[in-house]
């Protein structure tokens, strides 16, 4: 490497936001970036005069990501605590020469400032909650211009106020809550309140895109990038969201390879299409949602720690419908209005149905309520939904959605059929039968005793979808 290349590399390391260590396979520190001193409490000279083993013994840092690489010979990532009271994400990569480990290159990103922002947000939540409990802001007011949201309950007023407060910023929002609680609807409302409201709102369900197509869908591609690519190429959703809001639902299902690439886009603000060498600048507000415990997925190695902290800037939890029953009447009225407009008739709900509607737990939350309303609307023979005499409607409401048992099949192999092939056939028969009346992939997952992502993958594999038994998997939109 020439003098110019060395100078360029030194400038990159010296000015990088991350902090770099270069360590021998023995653990002796060879070089560190200047900013490391502020994080670890020792000067560059002091750090280079010791070993990572010594730093751990002295409590300068814990745990050592470099020691993990020395132990395993593989790249590693850890959450690290320093003697200066800081929290950093540290990752390290081995450098092999002729098959022998020679160096470990590590870098760390200080999360302390991010944590302070999250602490301030938590305090803001607490103050809003206490204000509402004292009777403040009993009404949201007309200035909030809520379109398709119901916020009659105190807890949902609190959520709406928080969204209103953070909407003008570009901070990443992580929406948490059970399936169907309304995460998509609130993400759309956040977009309407933001300075980007004139830009696009791009809604992506990460669980609904086949992994083989994920990169082309997210990043787009140039003409001829791969077999079957459109002649004119295609912009990916990251590009399409430029100037607006990108909403990634079910972010926990994002493949690990895509997590790494998404993190780079978030850090650099640039995206490169498949088959292209030219990076394109993108500027979007990121909102993500999940019903999973992302921290647990990080622990299990299914989700990147550094991406988790990039996303978990403003966490916002939407409570299930059973904890905010005051919202049920408004949601019912809203859905009834939509259905009447969609089908061109004016139906009303019989008063006898209300006690049952208000008494249910609605495990599928807003989505389940909306789906039940549509089934009831279509089943009503006249203009009154749930009129006396419609026993099937009342029985269905009391029992909840039913899932028929699959047809019994013969447990035998046909000529030339392998066990694997037979199991595939039976699996498809079971899924085809159960998916006809299931209202969601989550309900089907509970019936089968497997995870919801597994259900999504199996339905996709067999070309099935919820509620139809038809080709191509589709997901209901709206509630999030």
315 plus 351 within the same structural domain: no
The whole-number average pLDDT for the span 30-56 is 88
Is the Cα torsion angle 164, 165, 170, 176 positive or negative in sign?
Answer: negative
Distance, in Å, from the CA atom of 439 to the CA atom of 390, rounded to the nearest integer, reads 22
Query: Is residue 403's pLDDT more than 70?
Result: no
- The whole-model pTM stands at 0.60
Query: Is residue 142's pLDDT more than 50?
Result: no
Query: In 151-266, where do the E strands start and end?
Result: 173-176, 201-205, 220-221, 234-235, 245-249
Query: Is residue 126's pLDDT more than 70?
Result: no
Is the preceding omega at residue 63 within 30 degrees of 0, hence cis? yes
- The range of the structural domain enclosing residue 15 comes to 3-109
Quote the mean pLDDT of the chain: 80
90 plus 120 within the same structural domain: no
CB proximity list for 32: less than 8 A, separation 6 or greater: 19, 20, 21, 22, 44, 47, 48
Lowest mean pLDDT among 76-80, 94-98, 304-308, 421-425: 421-425
Lowest mean pLDDT among 99-103, 262-266, 296-300, 389-393: 389-393
Residue 306's CATH number: 3.40.50.300
For 315, phi then psi, to 5°, come to: -80, 135
Query: Is residue 469's pLDDT more than 50?
Result: no
Q: How much is the pLDDT for 459?
A: 83
Q: How much is the pLDDT for 476?
A: 38
Lowest mean pLDDT among 87-101, 358-372, 443-457: 443-457
Q: How much is the pLDDT for 66?
A: 94
Q: How much is the pLDDT for 240?
A: 94
171 plus 216 within the same structural domain: yes
Q: How many distinct structural domains can be found in the chain?
A: 4
- Contact 386/403 with Cβ under 8 angstroms? no
Q: How much is the pLDDT for 130?
A: 59
Q: How much is the pLDDT for 255?
A: 86
Residue 15's CATH number: 3.30.450.20
Q: How much is the pLDDT for 474?
A: 39
Query: Is residue 400's pLDDT more than 70?
Result: no
Share of the chain above pLDDT 70, in %: 78
DSSP symbol at 327: G
342 plus 260 within the same structural domain: no
Domain boundary among 366, 399, 432: 399
Domain boundary among 263, 293, 319: 319
Confidence tier at 29 by pLDDT (50, 70, 90): very high
The whole-number average pLDDT for the span 165-188 is 90
57 plus 129 within the same structural domain: no
192 plus 242 within the same structural domain: yes
221 plus 177 within the same structural domain: yes
The whole-number average pLDDT for the span 150-162 is 81
Query: Is residue 211's pLDDT more than 60?
Result: yes
Q: How much is the pLDDT for 58?
A: 92
Query: Is residue 477's pLDDT more than 70?
Result: no
Pinpoint the alpha helices (H) of 249-293.
Answer: 256-268
Query: Is residue 409's pLDDT more than 60?
Result: no
Query: Is residue 108's pLDDT more than 60?
Result: yes
Residue 412's CATH number: 1.10.10
Residue 365's CATH number: 1.10.8.60
Q: How much is the pLDDT for 137?
A: 45
Distance, in Å, from the CA atom of 112 to the CA atom of 88, rounded to the nearest integer, reads 7
424 plus 474 within the same structural domain: yes
Domain boundary among 42, 75, 109: 109
Query: Is residue 404's pLDDT more than 50?
Result: no
In terms of average pLDDT, the best of 122-136, 288-302, 382-396 is 288-302
Confidence tier at 480 by pLDDT (50, 70, 90): low
What the block records as the tokens of 415 is 């000529």
Taking only the tens place, the pLDDT of each residue in 185-203 is: 999 999 999 999 999 999 9
217 plus 271 within the same structural domain: yes
295 plus 190 within the same structural domain: yes
140 plus 245 within the same structural domain: yes
- Contact 70/101 with Cβ under 8 angstroms? yes
Distance, in Å, from the CA atom of 66 to the CA atom of 52, rounded to the nearest integer, reads 7
343 plus 211 within the same structural domain: no
Q: How much is the pLDDT for 4?
A: 66
Q: How much is the pLDDT for 125?
A: 56
211 vs 471: which has the higher pLDDT: 211
Share of the chain above pLDDT 90, in %: 23
Helix 154-166, helix 112-133: angle, nearest 10: 140
Q: How much is the pLDDT for 156?
A: 84
What the block records as the tokens of 158 is 């609190």
The whole-number average pLDDT for the span 143-148 is 52
The whole-number average pLDDT for the span 311-336 is 89
């Amino acid at each position: 490497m020439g003098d110019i290349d060395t100078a360029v590399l030194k400038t990159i390391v010296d000015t990088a936001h991350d902090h770099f260590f270069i360590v021998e396979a023995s653990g002796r520190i060879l070089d560190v970036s200047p900013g490391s001193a502020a994080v670890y409490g020792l000067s560059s000279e002091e750090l280079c005069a010791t070993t990572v083993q010594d730093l751990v013994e002295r409590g300068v840092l814990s745990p050592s990501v470099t020691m993990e690489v020395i132990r395993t010979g593989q790249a590693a990532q850890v959450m690290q605590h320093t003697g200066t009271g800081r929290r950093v994400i540290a990752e390290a990569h081995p450098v092999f020469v002729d098959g022998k480990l020679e160096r470990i290159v590590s870098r760390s990103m200080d999360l302390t400032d991010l944590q302070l922002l999250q602490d301030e947000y938590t305090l803001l939540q607490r103050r809003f909650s206490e204000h509402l409990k004292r009777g403040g802001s009993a009404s949201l007011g007309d200035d909030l211009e809520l379109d398709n949201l119901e916020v009659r309950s105190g807890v949902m007023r609190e959520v709406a106020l928080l969204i209103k407060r953070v909407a003008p910023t570009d901070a990443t929002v992580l929406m948490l809550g059970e399936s169907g609680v309304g995460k998509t609807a609130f993400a759309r409302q956040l977009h309407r309140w933001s300075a980007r409201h004139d830009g696009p709102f791009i809604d992506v369900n990460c669980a609904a895109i086949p992994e083989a197509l994920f990169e082309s869908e997210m990043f787009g591609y140039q003409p001829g990038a791969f077999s079957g690519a459109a002649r004119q190429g295609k912009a990916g959703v990251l590009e399409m969201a430029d100037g607006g809001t990108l909403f990634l639902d079910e972010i926990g299902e994002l493949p690990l390879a895509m997590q790494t690439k998404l993190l780079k886009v978030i850090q650099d603000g640039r995206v490169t299409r498949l088959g292209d060498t030219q990076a394109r600048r993108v500027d979007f507000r990121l909102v993500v949602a999940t019903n999973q415990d992302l921290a647990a997925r990080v622990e299990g190695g299914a989700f990147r720690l550094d991406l988790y902290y990039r996303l978990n800037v403003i966490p916002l939890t939407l409570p299930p419908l059973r904890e905010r029953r005051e919202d049920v009447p408004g949601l019912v009225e809203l859905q009834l209005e939509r259905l009447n407009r969609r089908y061109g008739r004016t139906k009303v709900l019989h008063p006898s149905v209300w006690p049952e509607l208000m008494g249910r737990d609605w495990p599928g939350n807003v989505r389940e309520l909306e789906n039940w309303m549509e089934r009831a609307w279509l089943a009503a023979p006249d203009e009154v939904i749930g009129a006396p005499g419609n026993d099937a409607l009342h029985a269905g409401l009391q029992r909840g959605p039913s899932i028929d048992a699959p047809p019994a099949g013969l447990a035998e192999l046909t000529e030339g059929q392998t066990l694997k092939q037979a199991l595939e056939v039976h699996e498809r028969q079971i899924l085809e039968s159960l998916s006809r009346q299931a209202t969601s992939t989550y309900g089907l997952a509970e019936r089968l005793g497997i995870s919801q992502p597994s259900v999504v993958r199996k339905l996709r594999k067999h070309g099935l979808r919820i509620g139809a038994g038809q080709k191509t998997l589709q997901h209901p939109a709206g509630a999030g």
